[in-house]
A and B are shown apart, each in its own frame.
With several copies, the nearest count.
Chain A
């Protein structure tokens, strides 16, 4: 039931297909277009209708799904479809300096964007007047937790048996130390020049999350976008493997 997958080799194998070339190794020894080691498990919690555990680099993220289910506050329900709600939360011990429990502005924004990123993939119209609740807990943070959370949540939705058009895979690209790179580590994000996290449905290439901050020329942006898309594709395969390993083909 537990699957450990390292994407390192996968990332390397596919590297040649990208047009950008770069020889400089990154601080942690990765190539510019290489993911951190990745591990996804589906079905890790007993109570939740669906769940997943994800590690990428030193990030450790749990996702759980409840629903479709009824909601007490009827005013919020939609007559023709389910609403998908999301709560992204960081454990107080997940970061260097203890984080006070409860939502802050950052987690409120990420929760909103995560719901929007997952929304297009779910057949919400099959469950009118109900909610699907997605809970993401960051147990350890090392850069890229919003992407890790979306990726894990997508597997948890599938694990919950909720019908989906496609997985949603998320990955950031960015620029650090003058180089456009895939999947920024905490250090690369903090010291870097730009961060571009996206989420994507790998089958169609549709982009469901798109954020950027930093400083990129148009060309750099295009390179970074391509790298992030590439990352999503690799991650999307691992999501499918995680589900296969839980349920068989």
Chain B
């Protein structure tokens, strides 16, 4: 992936605005852009969602498949998260195997969903030690306008909450799949993620593309419904102070409360 080159002049004007508590697009420092979420957008996927934060747009599809559990967790289903920063989404995204940015997005999303205990993976066991449901969750990033993390977690959560698998029964040690009887996968928790950029020494929520390009550092924090923390990831080459980290946790707890209204009703 080729780095965007941001003229110094843009950096300065964005930074100076933020220092004054303002943003180029008129938002408050802790304000999200417009968010929209649709589920069930892909009929061929057993679960799906299209999420937009500002102009950032991600289509998520979840596809279950019967497979074998990992040897060390014989009674636990498998969740596999993949992301594609499509070359259509930005002029500097290139075709090819996922680069480090795409890998980071997939892994952070995966940890937030997994450690946030979204899916009750043990209930995805079909035959203990032998057959479990594997859920492949693919994120297709089609338009990139900053802050992929929050959109990714919201989209994956929504896709999983609407995912159904065929009911199964065991007859003579064989799995019988009933596609007529689709059942929702068991959902436990609903963690969400809030990303903040550090620009001009301030924390700004939901960085836009322009802000993303010039940010000094970034922190994404996953928060469960009860306010507890399930995931965290710093990015960028400028440090955070101890105080900034604690402040960021507080902001994330507040803002994910707001985000919760976009979660589809179970």
Contact = CB atoms under 8 A, between A and B. Distances in A.
Note whether A and B contact each other (Cβ less than 8 A).
Answer: yes
22 contacts: A47-B55, A47-B144, A48-B88, A48-B143, A63-B88, A69-B91, A89-B86, A93-B48, A93-B138, A95-B44, A96-B44, A98-B65, A112-B100, A112-B103, A116-B234, A116-B235, A139-B41, A206-B241, A207-B242, A218-B228, A218-B229, A218-B249
B142 A62 contact: yes
The DSSP consensus for interface residues of chain B is mixed
B44 A137 contact: no
B107 A137 contact: no
B111 interface: yes
A158 B169 CA distance: 53
B113 to A, nearest CB: 11
A137 B140 contact: yes
Contact of A205 (B111, B140, B242): B242
Interface stretch (A4-12, A25-33, A101-109, A238-246): A101-109
A113 B224 CA distance: 25
Contact of A137 (B142, B232, B253): B142
A111 B101 CA distance: 11
B107 A106 contact: yes
Most buried by A among B82, B87, B101, B114: B87
Contacts of A218: 227-229, 249, 253
Interface stretch (B17-25, B56-64, B121-129): B56-64
A212 to B, nearest CB: 4
Contact of B61 (A93, A108, A204, A225): A93
A91 interface: yes
A230 B17 CA distance: 36
B236 A217 contact: no
A45 interface: yes
A8 B45 CA distance: 26
Interface size class, chain B: 35 or more
Given A58-B43, A211-B233, A46 B136 contact: no
Interface size class, chain A: 35 or more
Interface string A56-80: 0010101110100100100100000
Given A105-B98, A113-B104, 15 more contacts: A69-B91, A75-B2, A93-B45, A93-B48, A108-B103, A109-B103, A109-B107, A112-B100, A116-B235, A116-B236, A210-B240, A213-B115, A213-B230, A214-B115, A221-B249
B104 A47 contact: no
Interface string A80-121: 000000010101111111100111011011011100100110
Contacts of A98: 63, 65, 136, 138
